[in-house]
Structure 1
Amino acid sequence: MENKVFNVDSERFSKEYEFLDGYDDYVVNKKTKIVYKSNFVNGIVQLVEVSNLEALGKIEEGFKEFREKLAKEMGFKIPKS
């Protein structure tokens, strides 16, 4: 699978995209719900499609049990959501 990079100016970016909670470089298109990895270069945002919001949610849910077990074994407390 080849991922294409496309450029978006900052005005369009601020209108059409929002950052995903808990991520500082992944954004979601407000309309299509497609998730992109973002990179800021000279006032332009480069976007690479990585997933869609529904698929990302399923992946995160699948890791939840593993993350909780690992944290417990290492003695960390996970805050309740």
Structure 2
Amino acid sequence: MNQFATIIKAPEYPPQLKHKVIFESFDQLASGEAMLLINDHDPRPLRFQFEATRPGLFSWKYLEQGPETFQVKIGKLG
């Protein structure tokens, strides 16, 4: 079984769609599943948005922290 239910490569999406795609993908995860976000910069503002809109519902773990590539495992908590 794959460690991630979905993988999102954010640079492949136009700026106006990135967060929409990420949040829709997260919302489709089952409890206990995780997705991988790959980005070309630190997605810290996205984490703040998760904290504001889905407090207590997610986990956030950096797997790679730049300088060119950032990979974050975003899990859906039960």
The TM-score range, normalised by the shorter chain, is 0.3 to 0.5
TM-score, normalised to structure 2, is 0.35
Larger radius of gyration: 1
Tell which has more relative contact order, 1 or 2 (C-alpha 8 A, sep 6+).
2
